[in-house]
Amino acid sequence: MRGVLALSSSLTSLTRQSSVAQSTVRPATSHLLHRRFHPTPTQGTSPLTKSTRTTVTSSASISSMAASFYPEKARVPPALPAPTTPITKFKIGICQLSVTADKERNILHARTAIEEAAKKGAKLVLLPEIWNSPYSNDSFPVYAEDIDAGFDASPSTAMLSEIASRLNMTLIGGSIPERCGDKLYNTCCVYGPDGELKAKHRKIHLFDIDIPGKITFKESNTLTAGETPTIVDTEVGRIGIGICYDIRFQELAMLYSARGAQLICYPGAFNMTTGPLHWELLQRARAVDNQLYVATCSPARDAAAGYIAWGHSTLIGPFGEVLATTEHDEAIIISEVDYSQVDLRRTNLPLEKQRRGDLYQLVDVGRLG
């Protein structure tokens, strides 16, 4: 499904059909269009005087003014409500894992961590970005798996499917290098308690960065960008998926919120340059702007690796509060997600009712189509 953010007041005739896509692959584009808004005074009215401007506005006037903002037009089609889920309060397990060059060891190690999180009560488990392979352009082609070809061609996802079924849990399988034809992707698979693949997210925004003297990395040298925002209904709520660099693009999180997401999961591996400054900041921003939970999971830090991860896997609440986090060593975080807090914060700060549909619109092209 595709999403585009547009600032416009000329899109009111667009259709408002609504649907939630789980894993359909379609092209995606996001861009921001700006225009200046110049209201025209009503014929025959005099300009506001200073005394008029400073007059205390009555509650009725405030209500009338808010109505003129057309908040229902700020999202096209209108925002979807969050679903009613069998579980509204549950434990999440975030597994910050060490990653080596031994793929078989990485798979067994991830299995053990998932089992440990389940023993501690986790009904949803999140793994790191690129947990079965070293994070490097040289490694991606070597460790890549053909997920669609089945278990023999993809031992990493075969393990994820088997253990999700055996432990009766929802599993956000971090990400692994995926081979599809002659292309490579950075891909996250989501499995339900029945072990079935519910969604597959291919990293939309590739990590191409050049900070002289600090870090240079270009995923686009080997990887292809995904084309589909991914949101999936699970036993533990409606979840949006992003991978690492995807977190920097607020439009994607806004799209997920408008589709009724209660939680966004970002497996990621921020580095030692941007991690200290941006990792927690971006998580809290995505959570507080959209009034939902954000969970992230990084590989543990390996100072001897070619790419050194910052670590600090975290769960953020819908008020932007850090609910649980860790440092850079291996760790399993167990924390609670309570969707009543999403409702509470959206009542405390009714942003959805205060959006300025007369000035800007989030246009979800995928849902319009």
44: left (phi over 0), alpha (psi -120 to 50) or beta: left
Is residue 119 among the annotated active site residues? no
Contact between 119 and 167 under an 8 Å Cβ cutoff? The reply is no
Which of 189, 244, 265, 297 is catalytic? The answer is: 244
291: left (phi over 0), alpha (psi -120 to 50) or beta: left
List, edge to edge, every strand of the sheet that includes 75-76: 4-6, 361-363, 75-76
Which of 203, 219, 265, 297 is catalytic? The answer is: 203
Alpha-carbon distances, residue 37 vs 8, 23, 40, 278, 303 (angstroms): 9, 38, 10, 33, 52
Residues 6+ apart with CB under 8 A from 134: 99, 100, 101, 143, 305, 306, 307
Is residue 251 among the annotated active site residues? no
- Measured CA to CA, the distance from residue 340 to residue 355 in angstroms comes to 22
Which of 73, 103, 123, 129 is catalytic? The answer is: 129
Query: Which residue do the tokens 């999202």 mark?
Result: 75
Q: How many CB atoms lie within 10 A of CB 7?
A: 15
Is residue 129 among the annotated active site residues? yes
Active site residues: 129, 203, 244
